Amino acid sequence: MDRMLYIAMSGAKQTMAAQAVNSQNLANVSTAGFREDMLAFASQEVPGAGLPSRVYNTAYSVGTNLAPGSIHTTGNDLDIAVSGEGWIAVQAPDGTEAYTRAGDLRFNGVGLLTTGAGHPVLGNGGPISIPPAETIEVGRDGTISIRPVGQGPNTLAVVDRIKLVNPPAKGMEKGADGLMRIAGAGDVSADAGVAIVSGALEMSNVNAVDALVNMMELSRQFEMQIKIMKTAQENDAASVRLLGMR
């Protein structure tokens, strides 16, 4: 009886963990540049003295889905999308370099260029600062040009160039802050081959239909595990009654 209950309990616990990850993916289906988290289930023997007579279920991360999302034209001068492979270099909250595909750029209160999540965008010499300007343009290679306040329409000044990188996908890991990093490596050098599309945003690569179907499947699995636990309880109560009749 205890084996049945233990298996059902561990299954329900791991199903809840998988449901949390799936819900996180579904909640970010419209988040620019979001990359889907992936999980898998596996059976594990319970370690300890004696024979391995107990097995439990565990959910574990199998990485991040790095497939590109769809690109939507917005017409906003500060919206950019990476064309093909590559990443935008940003400064993480801990001050280290990290990477994202979220190109919803904006200015903060002191003129720093940041992503929509507030991460400073990196240029040739660190975070990019934009002086007051009438217009701003981002070239295909990430070069930022502005028309200074009070200048004519033909006057453009180059401010900086967004750092665009293209590290191997195999070594990339997603942090709790949603940013990508290279496992066990330092900063990545800029790659001149990475191009961007101005006035557009790359959306999340989460498939909303697949996520909804997965949510229903996980809900059914959880309900099944709870029913098994209840059945184990009923069987245990029945066994106690039978033993009490002697």
Tell me what pLDDT residue 4 has.
Answer: 78
Span 160-218, pLDDT tens digits? 999 999 998 888 889 888 899 987 767 889 999 999 999 999 999 999 999 999 999 99
Euclidean distance between CA atoms 130 and 107, whole angstroms: 8
Amino acid code (one letter) for 107: F
Q: Report whether 179 contacts 55 (CB < 8 A).
A: no
The 8-class DSSP code of residue 47 comes to P
What is the crossing angle of helices 2-27 and 208-244, to 10°?
160
Token output for 204: 């999340």
Q: What's the whole-model pTM score?
A: 0.81
Span 116-163, pLDDT tens digits? 999 999 998 899 998 888 888 999 999 999 888 877 777 788 999 999
Is residue 97 over pLDDT 60? yes
Which residues are 127's β-sheet partners?
Answer: 122
pLDDT class of 92 with cuts at 50, 70, 90: very high
Residue labelled with tokens 């069987």: 235
Tell me what pLDDT residue 246 has.
Answer: 55
**DSSP 3-state of 183:** coil
Cα 112 to Cα 109, 133, 138, distances in angstroms: 7, 13, 15
